[in-house]
């Protein structure tokens, strides 16, 4: 726990020990919820696209190199067909 002061612009500084414990850094977001007699703050988790891989049914997505090779093959075939 730590103590902080509200600035004239409505800003607060989260104490360093709290930021470190929560792994917070510049640009991270907090969700502020009103409660009786006060409020609570929760960290808004950022989800990276890579963490979503495999969440949906269907065949796995190809790796970047596989995509490049496939595109290269298709372009080569298209060039062979053009006059």
Domain chopping of the chain, boundaries = 57-81
pLDDT at 12 over 90: yes
Is the predicted pLDDT of residue 35 greater than 70, yes or no?
Answer: yes
Predicted confidence (pLDDT) per residue in 39-55, tens digit: 999 998 776 776 667 77
**pLDDT value for 38:** 94
Cα(4)–Cα(14) distance, rounded to whole angstroms? 7
Supply the pTM of this predicted model.
0.50
Token pair, residue 40, equals 């609570």
pLDDT for 47 equals 67
């Amino acid at each position: 726990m730590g103590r902080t002061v509200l600035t004239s612009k409505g800003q607060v500084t989260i104490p360093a020990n709290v930021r470190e414990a929560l792994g917070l850094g510049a640009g991270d977001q907090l969700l502020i919820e009103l409660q009786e007699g006060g409020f609570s703050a929760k960290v808004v988790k950022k989800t990276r696209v890579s963490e979503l891989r495999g969440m949906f049914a269907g065949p796995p997505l190809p790796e970047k190199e596989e995509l490049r090779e496939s595109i290269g093959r298709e372009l080569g075939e298209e060039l062979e067909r053009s006059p």
